Structure 1
Amino acid sequence: MNLPEAWWNPMSWDAPFPVVAAALAMIAFLRAGLTYLVGRFIAAGGSRTRAGQMMERPGFVRAVERVNRIGAPVVSLSFITVGVQTMVNLAAGFLRMPLWRYLPALAVGSALWGMIYASVGFVGFAALALAWRQHPVLAVLLLVGFMAVMALLVSTHRTRPSELDES
């Protein structure tokens, strides 16, 4: 099975690395910026909506506390993690972080994300595709193993008391 040659698959783009990285950074910039705007909407009264129910989630509460404590660098650094950047950008909007602080942090984080996914991120996808072509069963086992490790890490993180719970 070959990966589809489609416009949305950056591995199929016939473009130099800087162009691919810049395109991915722009995608991240737009997505995170919209998430920030949703956070501002929730802060402006959207808490009475279904979207506002997200404010009660533990991940959102932790993100708000970190953004409050550290500020804009949390926004930039959230882009080098998996699954954290949405909550951090939402929290930045909810806290109404000034745009003059948020936009530079967003630009740095988006650039990091674009470079990471244009290089290392897609190497993993290419390796999985190669494994699928050579040994489909091995590829499935690798994927299941990866998902099991991620589930273990998440469950371990949720059962450990955080430093925020102690205060």
Structure 2
Amino acid sequence: MHPEWASSGIRLIIFLFFVVFIRAQGTYWLGRATAQGALSGSGRDGLRGKIAAWFNGPIPRKGADLLEKWGLILIPLCFLTVGVQTAVNAGSGVVRLKWRTYTLCMIPGCIAWAFLYGFGMLAVWMSILAAIAGSWWGWAGILTVLSIIAAIVVVRRRRSRPLEAPVQAQNS
């Protein structure tokens, strides 16, 4: 539920931007705290030591290197998905991606997310992605949306046409 002052227009887009910005930052910092907690077990024996060793190992380092290299593309694009967004945001924190890099990369994604949700276009976008991936459900969704748009256009055009006067037979 959103506040009444943010019910539509630019106010809604700004409100949604801050919602997703705060959520993404929170997810990043939870991932970062998880990594810090795991790393506190460095040098210990047992499970805590193994977890700390993993966090210092090649897999998180490779993830961080990939995010440093491709984050400019990957992080904003994750905001155009459902399900991947949280994993990328938390993963950025887990691999300890630089906060400044992460934040600068996520801002365009937050803007896109706010517009998608603000204009109710998320379902359309997800149908497009599903269709590109080869899903017939995605194509069905796209065809449904296009049919609705076509019906709206036809109805509006018919309503905007002036009524024609009936043709009367001329008596000569």
Q: TM-score, normalised on structure 2?
A: 0.51
Q: 1:31 to 1:21 in 2, by over 3 A?
A: same
2:6 and 2:15 map into 1 onto residues whose CA distance is: 13
Q: CA deviation at 1:90?
A: 0.5
Larger Cα-atom Rg? 2
Asked if the contact 1:39–1:90 (Cα under 8 Å) also holds between the matched residues in 2, the reply is: yes
Aligned match of 1:24 = 16
**Fraction of identical pairs, as percent:** 27
Q: CA deviation at 1:46?
A: 3.8
Q: How does 1:16-165 map to 2 (within 5 A)?
A: 16-46=8-38, 64=63, 67=67, 70-121=70-121
Q: CA deviation at 1:45?
A: 2.3
Q: How big is each residue's C-alpha offset from its partner over 1:112-148, in whole Å with a ceiling of 9 and x where there is no partner?
A: 1000100134788xxxxxxxxxxxxxxxxxxxxxxxx
Asked if the contact 2:6–2:12 (Cα under 8 Å) also holds between the matched residues in 1, the reply is: no
| Aligned partner letter, 1:109 | G
Structure with greater contact order relative to length (CA < 8 Å, sep ≥ 6): 1
Q: CA deviation at 1:108?
A: 1.1
Runs (5+) with no aligned partner, structure 1: 1-7, 56-60, 125-148, 151-167
Query: Does the residue aligned with 1:71 lie in a helix, a strand or coil?
Result: helix
Asked if the contact 2:31–2:90 (Cα under 8 Å) also holds between the matched residues in 1, the reply is: yes
What is the total number of aligned residue pairs between the two structures? 111
Q: 1:14 to 1:87 in 2, by over 3 A?
A: closer
CA RMSD after TM alignment = 3.7
Runs of 4+ in 1 over 2 A off after TM superposition: 12-16, 45-49, 64-69, 120-124
Q: 1:24 to 1:109 in 2, by over 3 A?
A: same
Runs (5+) with no aligned partner, structure 2: 42-47, 55-59, 125-136, 139-172
| Aligned partner letter, 1:72 | L
| Aligned partner letter, 1:84 | V
